[in-house]
């Protein structure tokens, strides 16, 4: 589809706006393209009720910690494109009553319009949102999943829409002028079902990954915290600074079992160092999971040579050490990292999986023993002062042989999800623009969508 470009002025600044196949806004002068046969350009507010969000007063604690999920920016950025069943914060009926907030129904589609622009989530049950969102309650002429996929497909366009000197924002006059190119509802649901099938597979893999992560942590806790390892009945327990521990287990500095290695950042103003093929890990890339599979930035081979980071292999333990402290992550493939992190590598036969789970178990200690005048920082001496139990080497080897298949399966599921996302993202613009015709496909539509 041909792309046209034109200059428009939005929010007092000049910007170059690009053509959008599934959505456009008169407010920013977006060009209208011909609709496919049977499709129609429609003002979005003609097929969905637009609702703004609001935040109950933070100075009134009685408005919070209630039963009503309240969507904030962090919920959206952590769950982009997903259906939210719960949120990190909750308000209550008093907070709703005494503010402009509203509880919106299940299947409301939410778009972040300021702070972090362009993140889309769907309410899995009645919820409220902050003022950072615009929300659409779909009529029977618009399938909520179809709208979700249209909005997801336009993330880059929303970033171009955004304006403002302090915070990038999509303003309400622009939002109210959004048009969407709609096929008949039955076709909307077919398109949504195709894309949702990929998302369902991804979600199922994520659930399996979470179970495997919990299994590995539970096994570590059982063996090395509760001391119920195989054969523990025949091992004498002796006194130590930590209480009763198995005889022969030594309490050693963490640096006795792990090398602590540093990272570094190439000069940001040297273009030749950046946008290469080497993933470059920073604290903000850390997910709430065992493995990191993507980074915001990448560097070149020359950039790697010009910084203090090594190229750390898969399953090196990364720990964030400055600002955001205590995120413990394994790279899913070789990565470099910045100076706000440390890389940990096991010594003398200590496996990376045992080291990873040991470090996770010690996170609370690390967070409580930070230094730094401006912000919390873990330093190398923090690791030297931290004492851990060093079990018998054969027991560590036995444990590692049991958890290694769990970590391998996690990586395999993550790899599958990467492939699924790529395939879905290739199909997405072709489906929501009508380039791929699904009107004659015999696709079973879930009852909720029918």
User: What's the CATH number where 66 sits?
Assistant: 3.90.220.20
Flag whether 59 is in a domain. Answer: yes
Give the chain's end-to-end CA distance (angstroms, integer).
31
**SS3 at position 190:** helix
Confidence of residue 349 (pLDDT cuts 50, 70, 90): confident
Flag whether 170 is in a domain. Answer: yes
Listed residues 390, 407, 433: the one ending a domain: 390
Q: For the chain, how many structural domains are there in total?
A: 2
* Inter-residue contact 283 to 327 (CB < 8 Å): yes
Of residues 77 and 443, more confidently modeled: 77
* Inter-residue contact 157 to 175 (CB < 8 Å): no
Same domain membership, residue 140 and residue 280: no
Confidence of residue 127 (pLDDT cuts 50, 70, 90): very high
Same domain membership, residue 261 and residue 177: no
Those residues whose C-beta lies under 8 Å from the C-beta of residue 233, and which sit 6 or more positions away, are none
Flag whether 147 is in a domain. Answer: yes
List, in sequence order, the alpha helices (H) in 292-372. Answer: 301-305, 352-361, 363-368
pLDDT at site 159:
81
Flag whether 449 is in a domain. Answer: no
- For 83-114, the pLDDT digits (tens) are 999 999 999 999 999 988 899 999 999 999 99
pLDDT at 16 over 70: no
Average pLDDT over residues 162-166: 74
Confidence of residue 33 (pLDDT cuts 50, 70, 90): confident
Same domain membership, residue 164 and residue 33: yes
pLDDT at site 9:
33
Domain span including residue 321: 250-390
Flag whether 357 is in a domain. Answer: yes
Confidence of residue 371 (pLDDT cuts 50, 70, 90): low
């Amino acid at each position: 589809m041909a792309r046209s470009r034109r200059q428009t002025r939005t929010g007092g600044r000049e910007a170059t706006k690009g053509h959008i196949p599934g959505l456009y806004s008169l407010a920013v002068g977006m060009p209208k393209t011909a609709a496919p046969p049977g499709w129609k350009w429609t003002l979005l507010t003609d097929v969905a009720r637009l609702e703004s969000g609001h935040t109950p007063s933070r100075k009134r604690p009685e408005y919070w910690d209630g039963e009503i999920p309240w969507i904030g920016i962090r919920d959206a950025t952590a769950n982009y494109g997903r259906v939210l069943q719960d949120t990190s914060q909750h308000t209550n009926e008093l907070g709703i009553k005494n503010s402009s907030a509203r509880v919106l129904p299940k299947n409301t589609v939410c778009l972040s319009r300021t702070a972090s622009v362009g993140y889309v989530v769907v309410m899995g049950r009645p919820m409220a949102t902050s003022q950072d969102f615009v929300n659409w309650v779909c009529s029977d002429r618009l399938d909520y999943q179809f709208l979700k996929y249209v909005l997801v497909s336009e993330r880059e366009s929303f970033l171009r829409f955004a304006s403002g000197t302090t915070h990038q924002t999509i303003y309400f006059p622009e939002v109210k002028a959004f048009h969407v190119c709609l096929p008949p509802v039955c076709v909307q649901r077919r398109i949504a079902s195709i894309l949702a099938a990929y998302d369902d597979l991804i979600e199922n893999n994520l659930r399996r990954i979470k179970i495997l992560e919990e299994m590995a942590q539970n096994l570590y806790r059982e063996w090395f915290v509760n001391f119920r390892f195989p054969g523990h009945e025949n091992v004498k327990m002796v006194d130590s600074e930590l209480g009763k521990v198995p005889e022969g287990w030594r309490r050693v500095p963490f640096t006795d079992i792990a090398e602590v290695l540093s990272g570094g950042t190439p000069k940001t103003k040297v273009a030749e160092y950046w946008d290469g093929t080497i993933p470059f890990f920073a604290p903000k890339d850390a997910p709430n999971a065992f493995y990191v599979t993507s980074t915001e930035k990448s560097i070149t081979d020359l950039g790697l040579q010009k910084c203090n980071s090594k190229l750390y292999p898969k399953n090196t333990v990364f720990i964030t050490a400055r600002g955001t402290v205590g995120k413990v992550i394994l790279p899913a493939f070789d990565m470099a990292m910045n100076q706000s992190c440390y890389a940990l590598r096991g010594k003398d036969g200590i496996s990376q999986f045992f080291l990873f789970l040991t470090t996770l178990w010690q996170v609370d200690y690390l967070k409580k023993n930070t230094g730094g005048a401006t912000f919390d920082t873990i330093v190398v001496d923090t690791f030297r002062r931290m004492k851990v139990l060093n079990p018998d080497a054969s027991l560590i080897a036995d444990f590692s042989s049991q958890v290694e298949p769990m970590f391998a399966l996690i990586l395999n599921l993550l790899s599958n999800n990467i492939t699924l996302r790529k395939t879905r993202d290739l199909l997405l613009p072709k489906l929501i623009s009508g380039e791929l015709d699904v009107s004659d496909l015999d696709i079973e539509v879930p009852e909720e969508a029918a």
